[in-house]
């Protein structure tokens, strides 16, 4: 399977704990995006990388959130001191920067975070 993969698929944590999610994009894609989706809503943009450079961050990405893509391949999203409002589906997507361009993003299955 050469699609976008995310790990873990589900995470339950207690308020105040730190969590880290991983995303492995499609191998030839140099752009990687993180989105957050709450129940009944469409995904909301969090941040994106071109290769290892983080080029844009949403205001939704508070100081407790940090994302990295150290070698321009996989990416991690860390949430520190989780709050109940962080409960959501965290989606990763990747795209090439040529042809149809960055617009045709391919999503992973998501990580469902529940903060108790």
Partner 1 sequence: GQQLNQSPQSMFIQEGEDVSMNCTSSSIFNTWLWYKQEPGEGPVLLIALYKAGELTSNGRLTAQFGITRKDSFLNISASIPSDVGIYFCPTSSNTGKLIFGQGTTLQVKP
Angle at 24 between CA 18 and CA 26, to 5 degrees: 155
Q: Which of 18, 64, 104, 116 is the binder for partner 1 (CB under 8 A)? A: 104
The reply to whether 108 sits near partner 1 by the rule CB under 8 A is: yes
Phi, psi of 28 (to 5 degrees): -90, 5
Q: Are 69 and 32 in contact (CB under 8 A)?
A: yes
> What residue has token string 């976008």?
4
Q: Which of 17, 18, 101, 114 is the binder for partner 1 (CB under 8 A)? A: 101
Q: Which of 14, 42, 63, 98 is the binder for partner 1 (CB under 8 A)? A: 42
The reply to whether 85 sits near partner 1 by the rule CB under 8 A is: no
Omega before residue 8 within 30° of 0, cis: yes
The reply to whether 36 sits near partner 1 by the rule CB under 8 A is: no
State whether residue 75 is helix, strand or coil: strand
Kindly list the residues in this chain that would bind partner 1 in the complex (CB under 8 A): 4, 31, 33, 35, 40-45, 48, 55-56, 91, 93, 95, 100-110, 112
């Amino acid at each position: 399977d050469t699609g976008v993969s995310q790990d873990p698929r589900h995470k339950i944590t207690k308020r105040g704990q730190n969590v880290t999610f991983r995303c492995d994009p499609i191998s030839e894609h140099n752009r990687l995006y993180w989105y957050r989706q709450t129940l009944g809503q469409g995904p909301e943009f969090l941040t994106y990388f071109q290769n290892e450079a983080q080029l844009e961050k949403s205001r939704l990405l508070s100081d407790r959130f940090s994302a990295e893509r150290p070698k321009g391949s996989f990416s991690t999203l860390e949430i520190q001191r989780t709050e109940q409002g962080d409960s959501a589906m965290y989606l990763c997507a990747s795209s090439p920067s040529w042809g149809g361009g960055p617009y045709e993003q391919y999503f992973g299955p998501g990580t469902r975070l529940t903060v108790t």
